[in-house]
Structure 1
Amino acid sequence: QLLCDVKTRRDSVYYMIHRLRELHPAIDHYLSSPAQKDLASCKLSDTEWQAMSDCEVILTIPHQVQQVMSQEKNPVLTGAIPAFKMFMTIWKKLGEQNSHLKRWMDLGLKGAMKYYERMDNTKAYVIAMCM
């Protein structure tokens, strides 16, 4: 079963793309059947499947960081800044190692940096880091 986006669930896009890629053979088979000729134009090209793969690679990093933070029995704010820094460092390396992803990584990092700067200006994070 394909998954839908859930705005309140941060990983929903990652899970949607992951599930789509898992079901790639079944989806292609279904869309290739004569009974589905009206939907044949919806079949993704190899380039589009590669783009889905790239998106999954990109989203795997924040997904893994979020999973680590969620595994703690009592998640604490002190782990947020180091986890966020780790996520940004890995994204930067991913862009450097994959030139075709660099544009997207830089765009994502720009947004992440704005969020990180807001964290710097929030007293709760500063207090948590001193504890």
Structure 2
Amino acid sequence: MHVGSHLTTLKIASGKIIVNITRIFNKLINLRCFPHTVNLACKAVIAALARSDYGSTTGDHTDPISTLRALVRAVRALSLRRQHFSEICEKYDLDLQLLCDVDTRWSSTLYMIERALHLEKPLDDICSSEEFQDLEKFKLSSEEWDGLAAAREILMVPEAFQQKLSAEKTPTLCNVLPAFDTMVSVWNELQESMDEPYFDIIQAGIDKLDAYHNRAELVPAYMISMCELSFLIIPQMIY
């Protein structure tokens, strides 16, 4: 019984040690994937746009993206509205359909904005249409359209880098991490070129990327991937 008791204690102790080692190991190797981190950064940008002074508009509008989303859903909801919108698009020689975003994919918000900017005149027309006066509350002002154009410019930066890395057959950490630095650099340039309200909006995304980068620097995989292993010499085999 005495020996058995000791064995039981050792098993419990060794189990706890293994659990603790596993937790430490997971912290050392745990590194979020590039798309997930970019998703967090872009969602932070979109949320910052809604919180900005620019975003606090009058009436039923909250921010340009939310207003656009509501307008797109309203137009797509009824067949008569869709048909009327298609007829308006034909008048402008545009053969395009509205796109609605989904909450789980930030890039879908970019695509929705980009498509809407191409369809700005038809959207303005249907909001001013006598047939659908209930859509007038969704009519975007020129300032809000400018805000959507700025949002597109900001979101096109991570989109370009994500597409580039997605094209790689085997994405590597040594390519992903420099992409973060370059993305932050491009966003910094945008901060200098765009109006003041957008500085803080872009900064919200940069802060997310910086948090990832700071965490990545603590992961051994990061240090290994960024090292130039020039000290490794493979000796020539002599037969």
Shorter-chain TM-score above 0.5: yes
**What SS does the aligned partner of 2:131 have?**
helix
Aligned to 2:194: 98
Deviation at 1:60, TM superposition (A): 0.8
Number of paired residues?
Answer: 130
Equivalents in 1 of 2:106, 2:146: separation in Å?
Answer: 23
Is 2:112 aligned against 1:11? no
Cα contact 1:3–1:19 (8 A) shared by 2? no
- Which residues of 2 match residues 1-131 of structure 1 at below 5 A? 1-7=98-104, 9-100=105-196, 101-130=198-227
Equivalents in 1 of 2:103, 2:137: separation in Å?
Answer: 26
Deviation at 1:85, TM superposition (A): 0.5
Equivalents in 2 of 1:99, 1:31: separation in Å?
Answer: 28
Identity of aligned residues (%): 32
1:6-54, Cα deviation, whole Å (9 max, x unpaired): 41x3422221211221221221122121111011111111111111011
Give the stretch that moved more between structures: 25-34 or 119-128.
Answer: 119-128
From the superposition, tell whether residues 3 and 78 of structure 1 become closer, same or farther in structure 2 (CA, over 3 Å).
Answer: same
Equivalents in 2 of 1:68, 1:91: separation in Å?
Answer: 17
Equivalents in 2 of 1:54, 1:45: separation in Å?
Answer: 14
Cα contact 1:5–1:16 (8 A) shared by 2? no
Root-mean-square deviation over aligned CA pairs: 1.7
Equivalents in 1 of 2:121, 2:222: separation in Å?
Answer: 46
Deviation at 1:5, TM superposition (A): 1.9
Aligned to 2:62: none
1:92-131, Cα deviation, whole Å (9 max, x unpaired): 1110122332222222222221121122222333333237
Equivalents in 1 of 2:201, 2:187: separation in Å?
Answer: 10
**What SS does the aligned partner of 2:100 have?**
coil
**What SS does the aligned partner of 1:34 have?**
coil
Give the TM-score, by structure 2 length: 0.50
| Between structures 1 and 2, the one with greater helix share | 1
Cα contact 2:126–2:135 (8 A) shared by 1? no
Cα contact 1:31–1:37 (8 A) shared by 2? yes
Choose between structure 1 and 2 for higher RCO, CA contacts under 8 A separated by at least 6 residues.
2
Structure 1, unpaired ranges of 5+? none
Which is higher, the Rg of structure 1 or of structure 2? Answer: 2
Equivalents in 1 of 2:125, 2:188: separation in Å?
Answer: 37
Cα contact 2:99–2:111 (8 A) shared by 1? no
Equivalents in 1 of 2:106, 2:221: separation in Å?
Answer: 22
From the superposition, tell whether residues 120 and 58 of structure 1 become closer, same or farther in structure 2 (CA, over 3 Å).
Answer: same
